[in-house]
Structure 1
Amino acid sequence: MVHLKHFGVYGICIREGKLLCVRKNRGPYTGRYDLPGGSQDSGESLLDTLKREMLEETGFQVLSVVNNRIFDTFVQPEGEENVTHHIFAVYDVELDNSSAIAITETIDGGDVNDSVGIAWVTLSDLTESNASPLILKILAPNLEASHYPNWHILR
């Protein structure tokens, strides 16, 4: 069994009981709702990563950021040997609705955008069958790492 480590920075925006989610188009969370965010670029601060990722994945600029916290989860896709230890910093964000830009299939440098679009999803509609472990942790926060052996990737 190989243990991989991934660190990312993510934004939480809740309005009228709905969470701003992205639909993932690759990786272990493919086809699921996920928090907008992702990996740091070299030399980038956590807040700079958050602002860049929010813009790339949702099309919105961040107006304000509060309440940072950190969680982790272990995810092993079914039938695979690799287990990913996903460590994630999350921030509550307020977004600038007037700044929305179109989400592109590729981002700077030609990388494929992880997001295929956004959705405002009612909190009670987010479950293990349609949401990423990051969202599941936000819905039931605790300091213990979550474990997801035999994680089903949606296609």
Structure 2
Amino acid sequence: MKKNIVLLLVAVTFFISNISFAQTNSYVDEYKGLAKSLSMEFGIPTSIILSIAIVESGAGSSKVAKKLNNHFGIKGKNEVTWSSFKQYTSPEESFRDFCLKMASKKFYLNMKGNADYALWIKKISMTGYSTQPKQWRSKINKTIQKNKLDNEQ
């Protein structure tokens, strides 16, 4: 009986991780063109744009991403009572706003066009983007590596 339970747990874990991986791949496919276009316009690596969107929105599955089109966890005005996150008319508007926010940071002019995603992650985390910068940096790095987003330039 214990052997069957262990096998079932392994199968469920494998199934759940595959759904997540498939969902992430689908998300990357959907937003890769937009991220590349914004990367060219703003000089922010595509890997940074996509990985932060993946982590902050649960690859588009979070309630905030679905209902408010907010893929970056940006706080602001909305038309709902259940959230303090900013509402956008489209995911594209959310992606652009993220890039505009990065372009307004002090580090941006020195980083613009730099492909070193690890340095971008460090600089962004130092701006207070996350309340847990060390864990956030780790999640973003792992997301880039796991999904081979460093090849998305």
Tell me, yes or no, whether TM beats 0.5: no
Bigger radius of gyration: 2
Give the TM-score taking structure 2 as reference length: 0.29
Higher RCO (C-alpha under 8 Å, 6+ residues apart): 1
- The structure in which a higher percent of residues are strand is 1
Give the TM-score taking structure 1 as reference length: 0.29
- The structure in which a higher percent of residues are helix is 2
